[in-house]
Amino acid sequence: MILYTTMPYELVFPYEAEQFHKQQVVSYKGIPMLVEMSGAQYAQVVRILSSDPQHFMDEQICPGTKISFANLDGWQSLN
């Protein structure tokens, strides 16, 4: 069977169910993104889900960046 998808391998076939449950889709400053909760104070950006090229140029939300819950202006869960 061949699966053609634009989704990363890790999202289609997660390594552990526990890690998959840590991820959620949120909107931060109006930009939809997939984040992984890392501890009680931070969320790490996994993927930007926007189609606007300017969102990918923003260094504050690039994949791998940690966002502090203390600075959550515009944070909204999309689940």
Say how many CA atoms lie within 13 Å of 24 toward its Cβ: 14
- Distance between CA 35 and CA 28 in Å, rounded? 10
Separation in Å, CA 65 to CA 5, 12, 43, 59, 68: 25, 22, 8, 8, 10
This model's pTM is above 0.95: no
Question: How high is the pLDDT of residue 76?
Answer: 56
How far from chain centre, in Å, is Cα 38? 12
pLDDT digits (tens, 9 = 90+) for 28-71: 888 899 988 887 788 899 999 999 999 989 888 889 888 887 65
